[in-house]
Structure 1
């Protein structure tokens, strides 16, 4: 780990993460583990130069996520420097598409969450089971049994995108465009490009809403339009909510399923255990959620008042606070042998879907899709094997989601190659 850079203000020293930019994309766990050994909370300079407080420990992460009054999700409470960098204007108060529940505080957060929550009740989610099974079966039947295929591009991405587009009544012909925008927003190549992608998606979202008003359906979008007409949210908030669902509704599930397959291929003993006991599929997914969670960190928080977490006081000056979920999920105080992938591990308290009032609404849909897709994939390809060296696979890391670019696989005997080190 790079030397800690001291300050003369009485604050804790600052960790420079700049030299670890590549590691934080391709294998961040050793970096965070070494920091966690020193302290569960650090001040840090991120590779892009942004100053932040890193919350790394499990109890500290829970405490931070349980304190929305001090740690705001609303970028209006961020420093002007942060808003200039990430919103394009130091005076901006919200993201270009508007305010949704993910970047709102109480009471707006509860108001904006309530209409969406009705679409994610257990009854409504379970009603989608047949659709997920049908989509998965169709995609798997199209995969070759005698040639390589990409688990992401050929199976997981079209499945998850198809589901969110079905829920929102998005035309089939628009799915590639939607995925392109989500990709640029989720994994931006530059601040300028992510801003451009947001501005391109805004008129599409507005047109989607306008079309649904003319031809209302039975799906979530029509329900949200009704909620808007009833005064539960403004038209701008409706747009921001659809914007959020389009972008967050499938990238996290792509990451979850791709990482689960990768972890199983990387750990032949665990893959063999799952083959011997298919009922362990749900536990395998939970362990992948812990070991390689889709979201490295929770969405940004901003300290709007002084707060003490553990033994560290964070000043309420709008400072960025980054709750590192992937580190919390490997805290040895919560999980024994945290850096081992073990699908028979006793259950622990995962923070992969966050915690508190911002606990992910889409967790039940993500678990439904993963719980159907993984067994279906392994039933179709019981001898699934990597079609490339696992150690050579590349990762992508965005502001929130981290996932593999591709997972090339084939049907065939398992490779005897040693598991990769980037797990």
Structure 2
């Protein structure tokens, strides 16, 4: 496989995960295993409760329980599908089709060597760490279709999406597939997580339709404070997401954590500054949304850039993602309810492209592959972006139409007026 980076990230980069997966010879024993176990818990903490509370606070009070239900149920479903075969599709040898998808030799985790820990991570730890990525990615999409989708299609779409979109793209980038062989840089999921989720969210929104009264009659978030609590959990959990992708407890993980924090803080203040100048009042929802934009944007570059890169990527992420929200909602008229594409999709794509620039040693990064210049690396990154976006869009379009043929997607107007909490789940989150 062509080496994508040199220096401290050469062994730890998520882009080299397949090389680690069979033999797990990247780490240094117990310390690395302990860190990845911790990082795994942090990434799961991002979804449950972080993402669930972040999204829950942004919807109306009558729909908050449904959002929590979606996130929790997807976590359970993704875990079992990862065990059944999605891990194998992502990280096993696909034989003649290995450029595109893995095989099924590790379905039900058969053939996994649980004791393969002589010089690195036990494969059980790697399986679990990567499972948390598969959990949070379809959960991110929840924010696009809240307050008007039925529960059954959420499960069907999420499950099929993991098999058809997430598994193959993960293999392309991290599992020895064609993008990894080209040398694409994606340390922790700009393409695998954020570009796939953001693109698919936009397709689902288009096919599902807007919420009743959109945009004139929409109500503000019912609990910005709840959203802030969830956002704080996301910020902490994201250290496991990015620094954990080093697959070791060394200097690469430390730098990934540092640049992640710098990017989040920078993008958050950029978002606040824009709101302050535009509306005269900075909002709590704005400051935490900017933070998430900074986290999403730094994710693909976090193992390749230095502190200056982290700051510049956060600056660009805060600015561009803010205006992407306006374009998607106001100009395109798409009810991406909680800005999944504008924040995660645009952020992931932007960070993937910027990794080619700030990953260069001239800008404080770890350096590109020998003989590869910024322009060439940028072209490789662009190919990765186009391939991921096109595949995610086409596959999601087919998945949603297929599910729609058997299961109604949209809740009835009466159910939406009553709120999905009571009409679809028979419970209320608030009883007063």
TM-score normalised by length of structure 1: 0.29
TM-score normalised by length of structure 2: 0.29
Q: Which has the higher helix share?
A: 2
Q: Which has the higher strand share?
A: 1
Structure of greater Rg: 1
